[in-house]
Amino acid sequence: MVIAALGASEEEEQKLRNRSMDNLSSESERLLASHEVEKTGNDLKGRVYDESKKIWVVALPSILARVSSFGSLVVTQSFVGHISEADFAGYALIQILAVRFINGILIGMSSATETLCGQAYGAGHYHMMGIYLQRSWVVELIILTLLQPFFIFATPIFKLLGQEDSIATSAGYISLWFIPVNYSFIFSWTIQMYLQAQQKNMIIAWLSIAQFIIHIPLSWLLVYKLEFGVPGAMVGILISSWFIVIGEFVYILGGWCPNTWKGFTMAAFKDIFPVVKLSISSGLMLCLEIWYNAILVLLAGYMQNAEVAISAFSICLNVNAWEFMISLGFLGAACVRVANELGRGDAKATKFSIKVTLTTSVLIGLFFWALCLAFGNQIGYLFTNEKEVADAVADLSVLNAFSILLNSIYPVLSGVAVGAGLQSAVAVINLVCFYVIGIPIGALLGYVANLQVKGIWVGMICGVVTETLALCYMIWRTEWDSEVTKAQKRLQRFYLTSEHSNQLLS
């Protein structure tokens, strides 16, 4: 019995030791798991922080540049708006329709430069970036020259479309002043894409801010002090537009891009047709977005009291478009980050960058959404003294606020598509969502349901919501490993050795 008792005692003691070891093991596992969670959390925070820095290096200068450049157009509209109501409506038609039409083509075609330069920079093909830039100049100069009749014959075109004679005449006169301004856009947009692909676009921000600061007193001097009226306002925008281009050329030719700019070269004319193809698909993608608003302004021109309808709609769209410049900054950031990572061959980093960029843009969009709701009733008086127009703007403020919120989503997704070279797919999505869904709904609500401008705007929002959902689905379904392979093939197709490109120097 004693032996049995001793055996039992030893057995109990062994069980206690085992239980103690199990508890210790469980505690160790729990501490280890807790440490892993903490480590993963810290690692995620670090990755988000690093990615955010890379995004803002591109986005902030781009936002400052776009807001300042577009602000110059808005400031000019404000000066013209205080000259006469007919000139205000004429300027609105040209800016929203003709200038946006041209800008849509040029910015869209420039996004091909952004795709190629971004992927070349990620792959380390630095000398090719200057060649891509010069190829874009050749293509866009030809295209823009072919489109100048829209500006030369603006008055008869608008009369043919049914606009009032006084508005059409004023628009035709103002459009002639925009012809030299249009040519400045070719260089300013393409050089911006080229510089931001290599994260050197802070110079564009400083030039744009300087331009905006100069533009306001210059316009005041020419319009009010010297009493030049509409010509004075247009001379102001002409001078300030070319100010940026001159500054950009000084920066590039002055030796601040030694790795990516090797001088003017005949290589710009080599493999031009594949670049034309990518440029056209890029241009079509963005044109379909920008023309969407323009067509809705044209529809507003057929409303009762057309001058008030066009003026109110254009003011809201200008406020919307000014905020949209911020979204375009994130579009550029998304494009550069996606293109860089695809060029490096890292699909996982590409997906992570998309998530961080989209989240940041949406948070900023929520801020401006709230701001527009709070101050919507006062916005109209910044552009006009006409109470009827200002009241019409206030009536559209809620719809404008939600449009601004949507602006923070779909441009980022478009930027992802540009970075990956998926412009053709986005062009089809834009065509269906905007022109098959948005415009017909807007026309029905505006004319059949007699909701006037408000109905047109509701149709616009329907198109944007549909496009946003379609882009979300497309990006979600994209196989990014496959896109890495496509990017590598694209770069190999366009690649010239540094020696070959130097031999072709003019």
Is 464 part of a structural domain of the chain?
yes
Q: Over 90: is that where the pLDDT of 218 sits?
A: yes
pLDDT value at 493 more than 70: no
Domain count, the chain: 1
Q: Is residue 148 part of a domain?
A: yes
| Look-up of token digits 């952004």 | 114
Q: Does the pLDDT of residue 27 top 70, yes or no?
A: no
The answer to whether the pTM exceeds 0.75 is no
The torsion angles phi and psi of 260, rounded to 5 degrees, stand at -110, -15
Residues β-bridged to residue 505: 265
Structure confidence at residue 236 (pLDDT): 92
d(CA 338, CA 351): 8
Phi/psi for 265 (5° steps) reads: -145, 145
Tell me the per-residue pLDDT of 282-333, one tens digit each, with 9 for 90 and over.
667 767 776 676 676 666 666 666 667 767 777 787 778 777 778 878 888 8
Q: Is residue 5 part of a domain?
A: no
Residue 2 pLDDT greater than 60, yes or no:
no
Cα 171 to Cα 198: distance, rounded to the nearest angstrom: 39
| CA–CA separation, 274 and 131 (whole Å) | 14
The percentage of the chain sitting over the pLDDT mark of 70, rounded to a whole number, equals 82
Q: How many CA atoms lie within 13 A of 504 on its CB side?
A: 15
The residue range of the domain holding 302 is 56-498
Contact yes or no for 137/106 (Cβ under 8 A):
no
Question: Is 45 within a domain?
Answer: no
pLDDT of 215 reads 92
Residue 37 lies in a domain: no
CA atoms within 13 A on the CB side of 308: 17
The per-residue pLDDT for range 40-91, each reduced to its tens digit, is 556 888 888 898 888 888 888 888 887 887 778 878 888 887 778 788 888 8
Q: Residues 472-488: what's their mean pLDDT?
A: 86
- Evaluate whether residue 237 is within a structural domain: yes
Sign of the alpha-carbon dihedral angle for 215, 219, 221, 222: positive
Does residue 46 sit within a domain? no
Q: Evaluate whether residue 27 is within a structural domain.
A: no
Q: What is the CA radius of gyration of the chain?
A: 28
